[in-house]
Structure 1
Amino acid sequence: MSQLTAVDTNFLHVESGRTVAHIGGLGIVDPTECPGGVLTREVVVELVRQRSHLARPLRRKLSAAPLGIDRPYWVEDTDFDPSWHVHEVGLPAPGTDLQLGAEIARLHERPLDRRRPLWELYLVQGLHGGRVALFAKVHHAAIDGVLAAELLTALLDVGPTPRPVPAPEESDEPQEPERPPGPVRMLGLGLAKAALHPLHAARSIARTAPYLDQIPVLGQYPGADLVARAAHSMLRRDSPPRLARLIPPHTPFNGPIGARRTFAFGSVPLRDIRRLRRELGASVNDIVMAMCTTALRRWLDKRDALPEQPLVAAVPVSMRRGAAARDRANRLSAMIAPLPTHIADPAERFEAVHSTMATVKRRFVSTSAGDWFEQLSGMVPGAFSAMATRMALQVAPAFVQPVNLMVSNVPGPQVPLYICGARVLAYHPASVISDLTGGINITVFSYNGSLDIGIVACPELVPGSWDLIDYLRDALEELKILADAPLP
């Protein structure tokens, strides 16, 4: 048993009829080496049954505090049955990628059942070429990107023969108690935390002040950088590298999102990304950000909606360091980075991405700004966090847009993985969109020599999201031409 953190709880509260807060991934697999060359639901259910003790999110569910006075608790589901969570669907012939994307979008837009552990796994049959798809989704309150990788590790193998797994009683992983504190104890704990909350809030404000200019919305206001520099001076710290104030421009994908989703996916060779990294003197993340910048520029330009200033992207960052590496709560933050879509020349645009990302990373690494998300989340007492979060989601977009979109680059394993003997050919991430973060989310995952792309979008704001897959590939070709160009 453990209690959700303020960040975890906020992921629960952001959900509405138009917003879901689970993350997921689409795995494309080759079942040739499965028994009989077929991957069945029954085999996947049994795999989860045997290995669910290796990944806590699979077996734990929510337990609310009395009267909502405190944050919920995670408790073991004593009635856990993987057959409630593993489902099977089929595509009509011919089973194209477009059909698969439409099916994944339909599955991704549906909320999870909060009465059970917050995850689902779908086996999708009928893909052309004899392939099979596996789509997993887990609530963001239960995992961040690092814990998602741990969950995958629990279910996947490095060869077609499944590895032996110790029984729960033989596992090194400590098991959670099955019961939460009683209602009276939870009520007492909640009242005690409420009494001490002003002290915790004051500490959060003090810790946040030096990094005010790096926080979305707050950093947009005039004077935020002056407050941050004054706080650094009072603490006798050197101010971090400065960056121009980032104000997201208006775009077609910023506005109230709908309840429906689209999901587009594709891959590019990771060797091309690595070659560009060497030849252009940049990082893999710089190459990814440059590709996204060029693709978004083309999408906006095609619609006569290209702003005259840079887009502003939130780039999620894992904060798992030291003792937090084994923490079961979300440990994440975000860098706020400009995407210079307004620059027409490819070379100048890439150089702008490269230089500004270097400054953004230096600012982030040289300060403690990474915990701003956690500090802000904890400023509201647990009893009022749901109301505060929902009010912010409803009111804030009418006055200010924190960012235009989210872009995430997640490193993955560079060896082939298997599930129940089926080889995983690709893994395309699926993430979250909201009114505050924009109607499009681009996430890439490097796996076994490929950079696998997943784009979640609101179809009402972002028609033609599949075009962005083509534009990302075109952007890679543009960078290859740039790398091959002779020096001036």
Structure 2
Amino acid sequence: MVTPIDPTAAAFLLTENRSMPMHVGGLQLFEKPEGAGRNYGRELYESMRDVDEIAPLFLRRPHRSLTTAGQLVWVEDDEFDIEHHVRHNALPKPGRIRELLDLCGRIHGTRLAWERPLWEAYIIEGLRDSRVALYTKVHHALVDGVSAMRLVQSTLTPDPDLRDMPPPWDARTRRDRPPREPDDSGFGEISTQAMRTALGITAEAAGMPGALIKTLSRSVRNETSSVSLYAPRTIFNQKITSSRRFAAQDWPIERLRAISSATGTTINDVVLAMCGGAVRRYLLELDALPDTPLVAMVPVGLKAKESHIASTEGGNAVGSVMCRLGTDFVDPLDRLLDISASMNAGKEALAGMTSAQIMAMSALGQAPAIIAPILRVSGLVRPPYNLIISNVPGPRSTQYWNGAKLVGHYPLSIPINGMALNITCISYDGNLGFGLTGCRRTLPHLQRLLVHLDDEVKALEKAAGA
């Protein structure tokens, strides 16, 4: 069966190159169920491999030829080999989390071949605490980051005794799962979906010229909006290689909530302040901190009924805000308050627009990050922003996969030329898991950012009296 590939998905395929794989990933850590034997990892792998019927999404591969007039289409892989996609790995001794993250970083830097469906899954054992890990990656042309997480979550259940949970690629995977629990810790419910939808919006949307003038006017005055004109050049904003480094850790949401309550800010603001302070410390160590504050692209969700900001559309509006990270402030509380003011100003700017205008302005702000790598001018022009900080809300309650308890959930994302660092978070069971994906060569000692993030939490707690 031949299916056309939409323009956005085709763009993800065509802009991909050896140094810039365009897939998203996820790392999950599981505790073995009670009574699991020594061969549990092998049995888990075999249960994922021995699937009778593969879901159609996982059989698709890209194709173009004279018969398709050179256009990219999806075709079904008639030589599908499950053992190529589902793999079994073990860590070298001593089997620390460090070895696990290093392995995931190396796998994440490898492109998915067009000759096969664009996904892979790895059962990884050998951790010295006997936990088992699952790393998955899916091409961005097939699903976006949020959809990829939801596919993985579709296999989870709050019932520790349920044993009939097939993997996402099994055609039996339940489609009648309960809706995903809402979460109040995320920046927005959609990260890349805003970009995908915005690319299809035309200028006939009502009020678009006015929204454009408003957005650009704020940008020229260096006020927060969907477009940034004042992001400094940093070591993050240069050409990258295909080699990846991955760092991950989580923090209790209650610690972040205590800081937000004590300072009158949001949990989102606290997370951004953690990142801003950590990036400041990291760049100071490398003697590479610019005088002007770094700018992060932050996906946001504007809940009209929960905020006191009027929205012409009602319901939920999604878009992106270019937030100043306060890296020019020494005091962590000053940084947090400046970030909070920047985010509030950005939300207010978006709240006066329709959903179509919000998504179009967000796409405008992100366009230079997409176009610069295509034109090979990354690092030669001022970056539209310095890094991406996004969030994918996850389950609030403890989840299980065929009796195995999920104890860690971390996303891996896509660095691109001119944007060597991507920080993505996912909330789960009272914790907020940070996944830092960066170019191994461009950003030395990336794992130091985890130490700095923890230092920033402590500094914010002390400054806020939380």
Please state which band the TM-score falls in when normalised by the shorter chain: 0.7 to 0.9
Query: What TM-score results when the alignment is normalised by the length of structure 1?
Result: 0.75
- Is 1:262 aligned with 2:262? no
Shift in CA distance, 320/20, structure 1 to aligned 2, threshold 3 Å: farther
How big is the shift at 1:16?
Answer: 0.8
User: Does the residue aligned with 2:37 lie in a helix, a strand or coil?
Assistant: helix
Which amino acid in the other structure matches residue 428 of structure 1? Y
CA contact (8 A) 1:310 1:338 kept: yes
Separation in 1, partners of 2:228, 2:378? 19
How big is the shift at 1:172?
Answer: 6.5
How big is the shift at 1:421?
Answer: 2.3
Separation in 2, partners of 1:313, 1:343? 16
Out of 395, 405, 424, the position equivalent to 2:377 is 395
User: Does the residue aligned with 2:437 lie in a helix, a strand or coil?
Assistant: strand
Superposed, 1:210-249 pairs within 5 Å as 210-212=210-212, 224-225=216-217, 246-249=229-232
- Is 1:334 aligned with 2:335? no
Shift in CA distance, 213/56, structure 1 to aligned 2, threshold 3 Å: farther
More helix by share: 1
Which amino acid in the other structure matches residue 442 of structure 2? L
Corresponding residue for 2:335? 349
Larger Rg: 1
- Is 1:23 aligned with 2:24? yes
How big is the shift at 1:337?
Answer: 1.9
How big is the shift at 1:164?
Answer: 4.6
CA contact (8 A) 1:41 1:87 kept: no
Corresponding residue for 1:89? 89
Superposed, 1:293-372 pairs within 5 Å as 293-316=276-299, 334-367=320-353, 368-372=356-360
How big is the shift at 1:161?
Answer: 3.2
Corresponding residue for 2:107? 107
Separation in 2, partners of 1:274, 1:170? 35
User: Does the residue aligned with 2:40 lie in a helix, a strand or coil?
Assistant: coil
CA contact (8 A) 1:34 1:420 kept: no
Give unpaired runs (5+ residues) of structure 2.
177-199, 305-316
Corresponding residue for 2:128? 128
How many pairs align? 421
Out of 259, 263, 266, the position equivalent to 1:283 is 266
How big is the shift at 1:260?
Answer: 0.8
> What whole-Å deviation, never above 9, does each CA across 1:439-480 have from its counterpart, x for those lacking one?
111111111111111111112221111110011111111111
CA contact (8 A) 1:28 1:424 kept: yes
How big is the shift at 1:336?
Answer: 2.0
Corresponding residue for 1:328? none
Separation in 2, partners of 1:295, 1:374? 26
User: Does the residue aligned with 2:106 lie in a helix, a strand or coil?
Assistant: helix
- Is 1:441 aligned with 2:422? yes
Identity within the alignment, %: 31
Shift in CA distance, 416/429, structure 1 to aligned 2, threshold 3 Å: same
Shift in CA distance, 355/320, structure 1 to aligned 2, threshold 3 Å: closer
Shift in CA distance, 58/277, structure 1 to aligned 2, threshold 3 Å: farther
Task: State the Cα RMSD in Å.
Answer: 3.7
Separation in 2, partners of 1:254, 1:99? 28
Corresponding residue for 1:460? 441
Shift in CA distance, 18/241, structure 1 to aligned 2, threshold 3 Å: closer
Moved more, 82-91 or 18-27: 82-91
Give unpaired runs (5+ residues) of structure 1.
174-199, 230-239, 322-330, 380-387
Shift in CA distance, 51/454, structure 1 to aligned 2, threshold 3 Å: farther
Query: What TM-score results when the alignment is normalised by the length of structure 2?
Result: 0.79
Which amino acid in the other structure matches residue 117 of structure 1? P
> What whole-Å deviation, never above 9, does each CA across 1:173-224 have from its counterpart, x for those lacking one?
8xxxxxxxxxxxxxxxxxxxxxxxxxx997479986545479xxxx8xxxx4
CA contact (8 A) 2:272 2:339 kept: yes
Out of 397, 416, 431, the position equivalent to 1:415 is 397
Separation in 1, partners of 2:278, 2:218? 35
CA contact (8 A) 1:431 1:441 kept: yes
Which amino acid in the other structure matches residue 352 of structure 1? D
Separation in 1, partners of 2:103, 2:400? 23
User: Does the residue aligned with 1:136 lie in a helix, a strand or coil?
Assistant: strand
Separation in 2, partners of 1:276, 1:226? 30
